[in-house]
Chain A
Amino acid sequence: MPEDHQGTDFRKGMIRKRLEKVRKILLVLSGKGGVGKSVVSATLAAMLADSGFKVGLMDADIYGPSSALLFDAHTLPKEGKAGLMPPARGGVEIMSVDLFAAGKPVPLTGHGARQVVLEMLALTDWGELDCLVVDMPPATGDIMMALTSIAKDEVAAVVVTMPDRLSTTVAHRVLEILRSGRVPIVGVLGNMIRSESGDGPVKGGAAQRLAREFGVPLLGLLPYDSGVTEAVEKSSIRALMSTRFAAKLHESMNPYIGGLHLRRRKPSKS
Chain B
Amino acid sequence: MHELALIQGILDSVNDASARQGGKVTRFKIGVGELAQFDPKLLRQLFADLTRGTPLQHAKVMIVPEKSRVRCISCGVTWDFQDLAKQLTVSDREMVHFLPELLNSCAKCPSCSKSYFEIEDGRSIRVIEVVLGA
Contact with A along B1-26 (1 / 0, CB 8 A): 11011101110110011000000000
Q: Collect the chain A residues with CB atoms within 8 Å of residue B128's CB.
A: 4-5
How many Å from the CB of A233 to the closest CB on chain B? Answer: 25
Contact with B along A1-36 (1 / 0, CB 8 A): 111111010110110010000000000000000000
Stretch in A107-115, A151-159, A168-176, A254-262 with 4+ CB within 8 Å of B: A107-115
Q: Is B2's CB under 8 angstroms from A112's CB?
A: no
For residue B119, CB closer than 8 A to chain A, the reply is yes
Contact count A vs B, C-beta below 8 Å: 102
Contact with B along A94-127 (1 / 0, CB 8 A): 0001001100111111011101100110110100
State whether A84 and B105 are in contact (beta carbons under 8 Å apart), knowing that A13-B12, A100-B99 are contacts in the complex.
Answer: no
State whether A97 and B5 are in contact (beta carbons under 8 Å apart), knowing that A10-B13, A17-B12, A109-B118 are contacts in the complex.
Answer: no
Q: Collect the chain B residues with CB atoms within 8 Å of residue A269's CB.
A: none
For residue A79, CB closer than 8 A to chain B, the reply is yes
How many Å from the CB of A77 to the closest CB on chain B? Answer: 8
For residue B63, CB closer than 8 A to chain A, the reply is no
Q: Which residues of B contact A (CB under 8 A)?
A: 1-2, 4-6, 8-10, 12-13, 16-17, 31, 73, 94-95, 98-102, 104-106, 115-116, 118-121, 123-124, 126-130
Top 3 A-B residue pairs of the complex, sorted by shortest distance between their CB atoms: A10-B13, A14-B9, A83-B5
